[in-house]
Structure 1
């Protein structure tokens, strides 16, 4: 897929998914978010960049970590995601965060502005993950640290059939190379190529728990990376993809719900 087209697909797709995102993924993604925050070890007073901030699930936790004297600068490609996060921060009266709709591969900030940088489960969607990490590196102060989480290897993610199921109904790949950085040592290599030193990588398996088929389907289709294509499906096509996806996760049935295996990879590096 052409990079510009991929960016548009991601932008408008996440605009569609935004209202379902927290209900679909808040609990499921928490282990990866916890590990990023543990590895980045935020300190009071630090200035932190976050790319792919989404609805602010990590952003608000990071804001507590840097305290009232610190600052979080949060960016996302989706204006709807950013708007939801901004409104929630106003509701919670959190005043040490600024939100920006911005492409993570072309960040409009001055060099060496940030103490730390984080990106939780966004790098898989970048047309050029290396470029995104190079932008983080450029914006960090010398000695600054970046931490990133992504999904792991395809074979370890029981929900992975969602992509070929949807791709069979559309003209092009929905998420090309989604699992590339999570395979083998790819993420470590990309960190090193971006200029980071002392790269540390952790890989761990999780279970994604859904109480019933309705919530599992919402996460897979309406609240996730295939949302743009899904919105265009007619009722008959939706019935087809729903049936195929439920069949693909049938081995993970747990009573009325599901325990679907997943894998995360979290890495950090120092400038």
Structure 2
């Protein structure tokens, strides 16, 4: 891997390790929010009892842990760059009595598995952060058995994801944030319809499909939303770090106003939409 891509990988590892405490704190809420995307991945993969499944960039363990309950005599290998995130996954597995899982801290661009190892591969919200998405797709295809399937979720366009744009658009009004370099990891890097399908096709996958799934972030109130985003969303924290305390308070007030205007009756269920892309080896 090229030095600049290695640097991105190490930055990603450091960031996810640093934010793992927030993901542990908010794990129940986050997993409830992202469940529809995981359910669609599972529906497309059709995991069967006895399958050996790889869950890439699993973070705190989903959808890998749920898949493990479906492949009872099989096994799920849960991988992530962040050892701290995998620690949360192991805790969740223990709490739920799931024993047919293994966690491996590794880079998707250098998977430590033999060719044709896995029946299925899942990857929920990982691709947009991979330093080299095409290399990642080739590695996943390499370890997938012939006839095996991969399904991944990536965020759809910004206008369909108020959960992040409510804050980031407000920050952008007050701070001159430099645009990320072309192709740099980011929330909406894979949002263009057909983008991930092209990557899958180039990796040698076939029978590729793309669907859109929406979900709601059910947060108690605007203050809960603000705290949540500041404890789990690295782009938000990075952007707000460039503001002084007075400006942060101004941004916070405007975000509260924006969210309350969108959800005037007090039930904060914030819109989010993802693309689910599936392919077969």
TM-score range for the pair, normalised by the shorter chain length: 0.7 to 0.9
Moved over 6 A (4+): 169-172
Q: Higher mean Cα deviation, 134-143 or 153-162?
A: 153-162
Distance 1:88 1:237, change over 3 A: farther
- Structure number with greater CO (CA < 8 Å, separation at least 6) is 1
Report the 3-state secondary structure (helix = DSSP H, G, I; strand = E; otherwise coil) of the residue aligned with 1:222. Answer: helix
Cα deviations by residue, 1:160-217 (Å, 9 ceiling, x for unpaired): 4344656748777497443131212112111111110000111133333322012211
Alpha-carbon distance, 1:31 to partner: 0.8
1:256 equivalent to 2:258? Answer no
**Alpha-carbon distance in structure 2 between the residues aligned to 1:90 and 1:207:** 28
**Alpha-carbon distance in structure 2 between the residues aligned to 1:6 and 1:102:** 14
Which structure dedicates a bigger proportion of its chain to helix? 2
Alpha-carbon distance, 1:238 to partner: 4.4
Residue 25 (structure 1) aligned to one of 21, 27, 30: 30
1:36 equivalent to 2:7? Answer no
Distance 1:223 1:160, change over 3 A: closer
TM-score by length of 2: 0.84
**Alpha-carbon distance in structure 2 between the residues aligned to 1:166 and 1:176:** 19
The residue aligned with 2:101 is 97
Report the 3-state secondary structure (helix = DSSP H, G, I; strand = E; otherwise coil) of the residue aligned with 1:31. Answer: helix
Query: What RMSD over aligned residues (CA atoms) do the two structures have, in Å?
Result: 2.7
Equivalences for residues 6-21 of structure 1 within 5 A: 6-21=8-23
Alpha-carbon distance, 1:24 to partner: 4.6
Distance 1:169 1:254, change over 3 A: same
Report the 3-state secondary structure (helix = DSSP H, G, I; strand = E; otherwise coil) of the residue aligned with 1:180. Answer: coil
Report the 3-state secondary structure (helix = DSSP H, G, I; strand = E; otherwise coil) of the residue aligned with 2:18. Answer: helix
Residue 52 (structure 1) aligned to one of 54, 57, 73: 57
The residue aligned with 2:131 is 127
TM-score by length of 1: 0.87
- The answer to whether the Cα contact below 8 Å between 2:29 and 2:218 also exists between their aligned partners in 1 is no
The residue aligned with 1:239 is 249
The residue aligned with 2:153 is 149
Cα deviations by residue, 1:36-68 (Å, 9 ceiling, x for unpaired): 01111100011001111111132221111110x
Report the 3-state secondary structure (helix = DSSP H, G, I; strand = E; otherwise coil) of the residue aligned with 1:182. Answer: coil
The residue aligned with 1:185 is 194
Structure 1, unmatched stretches of 5+, are: none
Alpha-carbon distance, 1:250 to partner: 4.2
Structure 2, unmatched stretches of 5+, are: none
Alpha-carbon distance, 1:240 to partner: 4.5
Q: Higher mean Cα deviation, 155-164 or 214-223?
A: 155-164
Q: Higher mean Cα deviation, 195-204 or 221-230?
A: 221-230
Q: Higher mean Cα deviation, 115-124 or 227-236?
A: 227-236
**Alpha-carbon distance in structure 2 between the residues aligned to 1:97 and 1:37:** 16
Q: Higher mean Cα deviation, 132-141 or 204-213?
A: 204-213
